[in-house]
Amino acid sequence: MILHEPADYRAALRRLDALVAAGFEGNPVLEAEFRELIVAIDTYEDKLGLLPIPNLPTTLAEMIELKRQQMRLKQKDLAQLLEVPAGRLSQILSGKRRVTLDLAKKLYERLGISPEFILKTA
């Protein structure tokens, strides 16, 4: 999916909101659509420079938190999206626990965090 103009971008944001409101977890088709929308929106925003980030994240925990905020998710909702217990996610974000390979794959697939960044900062 490629967003070419502002109308496409707005439609993608509306659809993303609808998927989150509907609770897409557990439905593989909707989860795939959610991931595709996230990538398309991020790509469009990167092209236009819509989200200038003055201080780029330098740790994996900071990047996960940034993605959580961009997706407007609560921490418990992010835990559900990543299929990890909320307590474990909290430990990862606080640096008390390391990321597993399975979670690293989900961070890439569901949050769009680059594998290079995950490997360098995990």
| 55-122 topology per CATH | 434 Repressor (Amino-terminal Domain) (1.10.260)
The pTM assigned to this predicted structure is: 0.56
* Range with lowest mean pLDDT among 13-17, 75-79, 108-112: 13-17
% of the chain beyond a pLDDT of 90: 61
- pLDDT average, residue stretch 75-93: 95
Give domain limits for the chain: 1-52, 55-122
Per-residue pLDDT for 29 more than 60? yes
Using CA atoms, how far apart are residues 18 and 53, in angstroms rounded to an integer? Answer: 26
What are φ and ψ of residue 83, in 5° steps? 60, 45
Using CA atoms, how far apart are residues 20 and 81, in angstroms rounded to an integer? Answer: 10
Per-residue pLDDT for 59 more than 60? yes
